[in-house]
Amino acid sequence: MQKAEGKRQKAEGRVLALVLVLVLGWASGGPLLAQQAPQRTPAQEGFVPVDKLPSAQEQLPAAPLVMAAYAVAWVAVFGYLISIWSRLGKVEREIQAVSRRVEAGGRR
């Protein structure tokens, strides 16, 4: 029982110490950070030499775009071919079914 009480007190002590360190750190570091002059970018200085300008070239990879374009073309063409094939198959089956009905009607 006493051991458990001791452990709890130790844990509470550690938490308190941590909070204290954080509060002190914030209290001492905050004003220091605030005192620092904000970093000025070359553009804020009013003049930027051309050779100091950041690279305007966009680093967008071309390969995924090329792959996507080719995939779209092939999926569209193949999808359409499959669509024609299935529609034609459906019509052919229907023609056969109706032809049988016509033939059966003719025999009567």
Partner 1 sequence: MNKLFLVLAIVLAAMFAYAPVLIVHAPYEATMGLVQKIFYFHVPSWMAMFTSAFVCGIASVFVVFAGRKDADRVAVAAAELTVLFGMVGLITGPLWGRKAWGVWWQWDARLTSSLVMWLIFVAYLLLRKYGGAGSEKLAAAVALFGMANVPFVYWSVNLWRTVHPTTNVVMTLQPGMRGPFWFCVAAIMGLYVLMLLARVRLEHRRAELEQLYLAVED
| Shortest Å, Cβ 55 to partner 1 | 14
Choose between 24 and 91: whose C-beta lies nearer to partner 1: 91
Cβ atoms of 42 and 52 closer than 8 Å: yes
With tokens 């007190």, the residue in question is 9
Judged by the rule CB under 8 A, the positions of this chain that interact with partner 1 are: 58, 60, 62-63, 65-66, 68-70, 72-73, 76-77, 80-81, 84-85, 87-88, 91-92, 94-95, 98-99, 101-102, 105
Contacts of 42 (CB under 8 A, 6+ apart): 48, 52
Closest by Cα among 16, 18, 14 to 26: 18
Choose between 26 and 70: whose C-beta lies nearer to partner 1: 70
Choose between 34 and 56: whose C-beta lies nearer to partner 1: 56
